[in-house]
Chain A
Amino acid sequence: MSDTTTDRGSDTFGFIRRNMRQYGILFALVIIMAFFQVVTGGILFRPVNLTNLFLQNSHIVIMAVGMLLIIVAGHIDLSVGSVAAFVGALAAIMIVKMGLPVPLVVVLSLVAGALIGAAQGYWIAYWKIPSFIVTLAGMLVFRGLTMWALQGQSIGPFPKEFQMIASGFIPDVFGPDKPNTLSLILGWGAALVILWLQVRNRKRQEAVGIADEPFAFFVGKNALIFVALAWMTWALANFRGLPNVFIVMAVLVALYSFISERTTLGRRIYAIGGNEKAAKLSGINVERITFLTFVNMGMLAALAGLVVSARLNSATPKAGVGFELDVIAAVFIGGASMSGGVGTVIGAIVGAFIMGVMNNGMSILGIGIDYQQVIKGLVLMAAVIFDVSNKRKS
């Protein structure tokens, strides 16, 4: 055992206080969920509503993982809503008007998104033009191009195959009876894998004496996550099974968490946002990595565009208006820092679900869109104030 924990106090309460930034957001989500579960009379957690919650927020979650990297690198992307709409329009034209096969269209759409990201990232990374300006221009340009491409009309409907992206559920290979067995296997399997990874990591930390988290807290946290995942899987499997987009989201979250926390690429992105000059003097290719984060964002915005148009079953000129604000809000609620270098993928996802649960809960309660906006705005402000005051204390 090193002298790590002795002089910092290893009691659970002290640990929570030190890690408020990380866990505060998770507590907030749990509290908000509990609150709406009670005031909606239990509607929130009904399988049908739970399913809707995922379907309705999938595009925000998909874009939030990309936006997290952008914001961690010290930039911002205001164009994602317009880019999503534009790629949705392109896909609609390719499928409905041109009759191209869906898999090809998906690939072409993602490439188009990546190219758009590259076009914006080029000016930001290599010409050092502020990302706020470049992507503000992008926001206008791609909104305009969306209207132009659609000629002001909606295009739809899509073939079933394409709709499945957003509104399909994973098939049950073990027969049609409920609960959906494959969903159960996947969901519970994932919960077990997460638990196992956490335990393994804990053991390794203990072996080298750097386990900081109090044991009781470790057990409590993981029990909560495991039970939540297992129960949610059970609920969804008894309804229609896991939605396809849920799988997409889960894969993206796992992949991007891994990239941001475990790879040299992720580490470099954090270093650039934390101190660009120091990163540059450490031999990090700041320009190329900044460029790549925007390429990635463009691709994820394109994916979100496909999901949204598949869900609405049409591409419309107004699709994706205001998405960028929801996505950016999710990332900041999730604890990312405006000045870069700080933030986690999981935090951004939790932030997205806080927004999602509030939207959903308030809609169930019949609260008007006017009040909803006010409340969401205040929650965003509160989250950031909480963060700043927390930082000031430490």
Chain B
Amino acid sequence: MTDQTNATGFDWDGPAFQSQMKKRRRSQIRLKLLGLGAIAIAFLMLMLLIGSLISTGYQAFTQTHLKIEVFLDPEHVDPENPARGNYRQILTDTMKVQFPEVADDRAALRRLTSILSNGAQFTIRDRVVANPGLIGETVQFNVPVSDDYDQLNKGLIDPETPEAHRRLKDDEIANFELLKDRGVVTKPLNTALLTNADSRFPELAGLKGALVGSFYALLTCFLLSFPLGIGAALYLEEFAPRNRFSDLIEININNLAAVPSVVFGLLALAVFLGWFGMPRSAPFVGGMTLALMTLPTIIIATRAALKAVPPSIREAALGVGASKQQVVFGHVLPLAMPGILTGTIIGLAQALGETAPLLLIGMNAFITSAPSTPFDSATALPTQIFIWADSPERGFVSRTSAAILVLLTFLITMNALAIFMRQKFERKW
């Protein structure tokens, strides 16, 4: 029985079978490698994007500050009316104390004062207005330095380059180094990035206006598109008669979802601003425009979710004598809710990142205060990024990347929320 060559059985070691098997395995491995390659390329691109954003943007999350002792001279500030004081002079005096040797050289003094951000005087003013008792005393302030010095401190201006090719001259750099040696230069977390509104000065510019504007716009968008979208989808899916007219509506809704967003912007410009005379740059109008875009997405997602509810549940409810309305609102809609919410959040995330329609209704205006109502002028996150990317000041380069990172954080959070909701509320039947 040692001879295992088989006359009738299959020859597993035969050359024909071996070569066929090898060929099959090779093609399988090829396919697998292609798939892996595709994923690797996609992943690499993503890493590249995020990497470049972080490498340029991380600098914007800190801001060079100067710790200075400021004597609030009653000569320059009237305790009766602290808001009207000459804070610029107070700052000049402060720098005079720091550098006594140039006290009489007005030009040199002006250049020294320009180390401080233009916003420093307002920081001091706000403190004094809030607490007029400080007048006449020496108070320590931590004020931002101007953009050029911030760049220098972050190593973005190279002192080795020829003097004519850089924005700061040798003596300015020397002065700043002197301040550094005295230990008054600090680099804390740049909270102004989130708490300030836009500014012409990068060191003062923040995203607050854009964040609040985006929030109002998304809120308006949600309040309009969520109930309208669910209502439309419910009617089309559950109540509308199936005829040519409802087919036409369905096709058009699907088409609407594919319309470029700039077209919605033009529509909003013509209708909301042109006919109805709504305010320009208002997040409310922005939200309405975004709602036009989100609506088809929500309708399509809702219809898909309603369709996915098993017919057996409808039959069960009808079988015990529930009316159509009771079936839809008591059983079908609750079961479809996770899907609807997921679709809505993804639609809103899309709306959050939408730029073109907002540009057309003027949400790319330069506005230095956060809106207090949805009807005030404001920017939104993507349009703020657009404005900053367009600004010539060096400091805005890193701030643009930082703003993109903030926007991406919100988008990722919203998508994570959508996934969480889907998993939490998903029901098995």
Q: Do they bind each other?
A: no
Q: Which residues of chain B have a CB within 8 Å of any CB of chain A? A: none
Q: Which residues of chain A have a CB within 8 Å of any CB of chain B? A: none
